[in-house]
């Protein structure tokens, strides 16, 4: 991604995270991106493209922050993932998941729905691989989503609960449909 495209996407991400998807005017988005209106429209020719650019940028930042330089696979890796998600929530996402908020603002946008599915699916796959729980992606997605939804209300208690749930998941046998695969 070019420096200009990255700067625009980062500014758009910040604007949407701080003000939601309906409130910022195009002028506000231009100011947040730190470019002229012409340059903004060159890289993101519509509001929908601006939202998509912001979410794609957020996806990459999230993956780097949560999954970069993890300890060896297993309980330690999952505990670190949960801690990092808590830190992310505290600094980047105190109002909840930006992907869910985008879909809530435009529930008919199939591309946004696909971005949400791709983001959540990749996060669950990386968590399963890092935690040595391949085949348990759906269960991990439930734990991860529960963590991001309860963190604003319970903070570190939500992280501790996610750790307990992942320990129980590790000890539970695979359901027959998954263990046969």
pLDDT for the residue numbered 161? 96
Say if 45 falls within a structural domain.
yes
Q: What 3 state SS string does the chain have? A: CCHHHHHHHHHHHHHHHHHCCCCCCHHHHHHHHCCCHHHHHHHCCCHHHHHHHHHHHHHHHHHHHHHCCCCCCCHHHHHHHHHHHHHHHHHHCCCCCHHHHHHHHCCCCHHHHHHHHHHHHHHHHHHHHHCCCCCCHHHHHHHHHHHHHHHHHHCHHHHHHHHHHHHHHHHCCCCHHHHCC
Burial (CB < 10 A; 0-12, 13-18, 19+), residue 169, is middle
Say if 7 falls within a structural domain.
yes
Say if 178 falls within a structural domain.
no
Question: What are 105-164's pLDDT values in tens digits?
Answer: 999 999 999 999 999 999 999 999 999 999 999 999 999 999 999 998 999 999 999 999
Say if 152 falls within a structural domain.
yes
Say if 181 falls within a structural domain.
no
pLDDT for the residue numbered 74? 74
Cα angle 26, 13, 162; round to 5: 145
pTM of the model: 0.89
Say if 179 falls within a structural domain.
no
Boundaries of domain holding 25: 3-173
Q: What is the CATH number of the domain that holds 49?
A: 1.10.357.10
Residue (of 78, 101, 107, 93) closest to 148 by Cα position? 93
pLDDT for the residue numbered 75? 77
Q: How many separate domains does the chain show?
A: 1
Say if 36 falls within a structural domain.
yes
| Listed range (25-39, 84-98, 115-129) with the worst mean pLDDT | 84-98
Say if 133 falls within a structural domain.
yes
């Amino acid at each position: 991604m070019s420096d200009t495209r990255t700067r625009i996407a980062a500014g758009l991400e910040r604007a949407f995270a701080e003000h939601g998807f309906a409130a910022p005017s195009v002028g506000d988005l231009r100011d947040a991106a730190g470019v002229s209106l012409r340059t903004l429209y060159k890289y993101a020719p519509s509001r929908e493209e601006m939202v998509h650019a912001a979410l794609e940028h957020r996806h990459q930042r999230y993956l780097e922050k949560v999954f970069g330089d993890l300890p060896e696979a297993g309980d330690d890796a999952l505990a670190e993932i949960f801690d990092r998600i808590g830190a992310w929530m505290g600094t980047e996402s105190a109002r909840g998941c930006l992907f869910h908020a985008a879909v809530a603002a435009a529930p008919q946008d199939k591309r946004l729905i696909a971005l949400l599915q791709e983001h959540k699916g990749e996060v669950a796959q990386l968590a399963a691989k890092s935690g040595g729980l391949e085949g348990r992606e759906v269960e991990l997605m439930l734990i991860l989503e529960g963590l991001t939804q309860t963190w604003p209300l319970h903070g570190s208690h939500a992280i501790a609960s996610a750790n307990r749930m992942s320990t129980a998941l590790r000890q539970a046998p695979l359901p027959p449909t998954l263990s046969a695969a």
